[in-house]
Protein backbone atom coordinates (compact mmCIF):
# COMPACT_ATOMS: atom_id res chain seq x y z
CA UNK A 1 0.00 0.00 0.00
CA UNK A 2 1.43 3.40 -0.96
CA UNK A 3 1.75 6.18 1.62
CA UNK A 4 -1.12 8.33 0.31
CA UNK A 5 -3.54 5.39 0.37
CA UNK A 6 -2.36 4.45 3.86
CA UNK A 7 -2.88 8.02 5.11
CA UNK A 8 -6.26 8.37 3.37
CA UNK A 9 -7.51 5.08 4.81
CA UNK A 10 -6.33 5.84 8.35
CA UNK A 11 -7.57 9.44 8.45
CA UNK A 12 -10.89 8.49 6.82
CA UNK A 13 -11.34 5.63 9.27
CA UNK A 14 -11.14 8.13 12.13
CA UNK A 15 -13.92 10.23 10.55
CA UNK A 16 -11.77 12.97 9.04
CA UNK A 17 -11.00 14.09 5.51
CA UNK A 18 -7.41 14.03 4.26
CA UNK A 19 -7.12 17.41 2.53
CA UNK A 20 -3.47 17.36 1.51
CA UNK A 21 -0.11 15.66 2.13
CA UNK A 22 3.26 17.39 1.88
CA UNK A 23 6.61 15.67 2.08
CA UNK A 24 9.92 17.37 2.78
CA UNK A 25 12.47 17.08 -0.04
CA UNK A 26 14.10 14.01 1.49
CA UNK A 27 10.83 12.58 2.79
CA UNK A 28 11.89 12.99 6.41
CA UNK A 29 8.91 15.17 7.38
CA UNK A 30 5.36 14.15 6.59
CA UNK A 31 2.90 17.04 6.88
CA UNK A 32 -0.79 16.28 6.56
CA UNK A 33 -3.82 18.53 6.59
CA UNK A 34 -7.16 17.22 7.84
CA UNK A 35 -10.70 18.51 7.96
CA UNK A 36 -13.74 17.46 9.95
CA UNK A 37 -16.50 16.08 7.76
CA UNK A 38 -20.07 17.16 8.39
CA UNK A 39 -19.28 19.72 11.09
CA UNK A 40 -19.08 23.48 10.94
CA UNK A 41 -16.70 23.67 13.91
CA UNK A 42 -13.50 22.99 11.99
CA UNK A 43 -10.40 21.15 13.17
CA UNK A 44 -9.35 21.52 16.79
CA UNK A 45 -6.09 20.63 18.53
CA UNK A 46 -7.63 17.45 19.96
CA UNK A 47 -8.48 16.30 16.43
CA UNK A 48 -4.86 16.76 15.34
CA UNK A 49 -3.59 14.87 18.40
CA UNK A 50 -6.00 11.98 17.79
CA UNK A 51 -4.99 11.64 14.13
CA UNK A 52 -1.28 12.07 14.89
CA UNK A 53 -1.30 9.35 17.57
CA UNK A 54 -3.09 6.90 15.28
CA UNK A 55 -0.84 7.68 12.30
CA UNK A 56 2.31 7.19 14.39
CA UNK A 57 1.15 3.68 15.26
CA UNK A 58 0.15 2.84 11.69
CA UNK A 59 3.37 4.21 10.18
CA UNK A 60 5.42 2.21 12.66
CA UNK A 61 3.56 -1.02 11.84
CA UNK A 62 3.93 -0.34 8.10
CA UNK A 63 7.69 0.44 8.51
CA UNK A 64 7.43 3.93 7.03
CA UNK A 65 10.73 5.70 7.64
CA UNK A 66 10.30 9.35 8.67
CA UNK A 67 11.63 11.74 11.30
CA UNK A 68 8.69 14.01 11.89
CA UNK A 69 4.91 13.90 11.48
CA UNK A 70 2.88 17.10 11.47
CA UNK A 71 -0.92 17.14 11.50
CA UNK A 72 -2.87 20.37 11.15
CA UNK A 73 -6.01 21.97 9.84
CA UNK A 74 -6.05 23.17 6.23
CA UNK A 75 -6.56 26.74 7.42
CA UNK A 76 -8.97 29.38 6.20
CA UNK A 77 -7.22 29.47 2.82
CA UNK A 78 -7.49 25.71 2.36
CA UNK A 79 -6.61 23.96 -0.85
CA UNK A 80 -9.49 22.92 -3.05
CA UNK A 81 -8.32 19.83 -4.94
CA UNK A 82 -10.90 17.10 -5.32
CA UNK A 83 -13.99 17.37 -7.53
CA UNK A 84 -16.18 17.09 -4.41
CA UNK A 85 -14.36 20.11 -2.91
CA UNK A 86 -15.43 22.30 -5.82
CA UNK A 87 -19.05 21.36 -5.12
CA UNK A 88 -18.76 21.61 -1.33
CA UNK A 89 -17.34 25.13 -1.36
CA UNK A 90 -19.59 26.57 -4.08
CA UNK A 91 -20.59 30.11 -3.17
CA UNK A 92 -17.28 30.91 -1.50
CA UNK A 93 -14.47 33.14 -2.76
CA UNK A 94 -11.70 31.21 -4.53
CA UNK A 95 -8.37 31.86 -6.22
CA UNK A 96 -7.58 29.48 -9.08
CA UNK A 97 -4.31 29.17 -11.02
CA UNK A 98 -4.41 27.17 -14.25
CA UNK A 99 -1.56 25.48 -16.12
CA UNK A 100 -2.40 26.56 -19.66
CA UNK A 101 -3.55 30.20 -19.94
CA UNK A 102 -7.10 31.06 -20.94
CA UNK A 103 -7.22 34.32 -22.92
CA UNK A 104 -3.62 35.06 -21.81
CA UNK A 105 -4.62 34.66 -18.16
CA UNK A 106 -3.60 32.03 -15.60
CA UNK A 107 -5.01 33.45 -12.34
CA UNK A 108 -8.69 33.87 -11.55
CA UNK A 109 -10.36 35.03 -8.35
CA UNK A 110 -14.06 35.19 -7.72
CA UNK A 111 -17.06 33.26 -6.45
CA UNK A 112 -16.87 29.50 -6.93
CA UNK A 113 -19.91 28.31 -8.86
CA UNK A 114 -19.19 24.60 -8.59
CA UNK A 115 -18.13 21.80 -10.93
CA UNK A 116 -20.22 20.66 -13.87
CA UNK A 117 -19.17 18.27 -16.63
CA UNK A 118 -15.47 18.61 -15.84
CA UNK A 119 -15.51 22.41 -15.73
CA UNK A 120 -15.13 24.64 -12.70
CA UNK A 121 -17.28 27.76 -12.79
CA UNK A 122 -15.98 31.00 -11.32
CA UNK A 123 -17.94 34.26 -11.21
CA UNK A 124 -15.56 37.15 -11.83
CA UNK A 125 -16.31 40.89 -11.75
CA UNK A 126 -16.24 40.78 -15.56
CA UNK A 127 -18.51 37.73 -15.92
CA UNK A 128 -18.48 33.97 -15.44
CA UNK A 129 -15.70 31.70 -16.71
CA UNK A 130 -15.48 27.94 -17.00
CA UNK A 131 -12.09 26.38 -16.31
CA UNK A 132 -11.21 22.81 -17.23
CA UNK A 133 -10.77 20.81 -14.02
CA UNK A 134 -7.79 18.98 -15.55
CA UNK A 135 -6.09 22.33 -16.27
CA UNK A 136 -6.20 23.55 -12.65
CA UNK A 137 -2.74 23.85 -11.15
CA UNK A 138 -3.80 25.12 -7.71
CA UNK A 139 -6.98 26.41 -6.12
CA UNK A 140 -7.40 27.94 -2.66
CA UNK A 141 -10.28 29.45 -0.76
CA UNK A 142 -9.94 33.17 -0.08
CA UNK A 143 -10.94 33.98 3.52
CA UNK A 144 -13.45 36.75 4.07
CA UNK A 145 -13.13 38.93 7.12
CA UNK A 146 -16.28 40.95 7.74
Give the whole-angstrom CA distance, residue 142 versus residue 94. 5
Give residue 57's pLDDT. Answer: 96
Q: Are residues 65 and 87 in the same domain?
A: no
Give residue 39's pLDDT. Answer: 66
Give the whole-angstrom CA distance, residue 132 versus residue 117. 9
> Per the domain annotation, does 77 fall within a domain?
no
Give the whole-angstrom CA distance, residue 87 versus residue 110. 15
Average pLDDT over every residue of 23-29 = 86
Range of the domain at 99: 83-141
Residue range 96-134, pLDDT digits in tens: 999 999 999 999 999 999 999 999 999 999 999 999 999
Q: Are residues 67 and 26 in the same domain?
A: yes
> Per the domain annotation, does 34 fall within a domain?
yes
Give the number of domains in the chain: 2
Q: Are residues 39 and 91 in the same domain?
A: no
pLDDT at 29 over 90: yes
Q: Are residues 41 and 94 in the same domain?
A: no
Give residue 145's pLDDT. Answer: 83
Q: Are residues 18 and 65 in the same domain?
A: yes
Residue range 40-86, pLDDT digits in tens: 778 999 999 999 999 999 999 999 989 999 999 999 899 999 999 99
> Per the domain annotation, does 57 fall within a domain?
yes
Q: Say how many C-beta atoms besides its own lie within 10 A of residue 123's C-beta.
A: 16
Burial level of 90, CB count in 10 A (0-12/13-18/19+)? middle
**Which is more confident, 29 or 40?**
29
Give residue 134's pLDDT. Answer: 96
**Which is more confident, 99 or 39?**
99
Q: Say how many C-beta atoms besides its own lie within 10 A of residue 32's C-beta.
A: 25
Whole-structure pTM value: 0.82
Out of 44, 72, 100, a domain closes at: 72
Amino acid sequence: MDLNTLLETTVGGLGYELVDVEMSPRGRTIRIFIDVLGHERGVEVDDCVKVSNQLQRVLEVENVDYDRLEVSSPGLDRLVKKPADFERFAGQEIHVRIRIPLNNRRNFQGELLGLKQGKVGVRLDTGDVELEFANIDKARLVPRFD
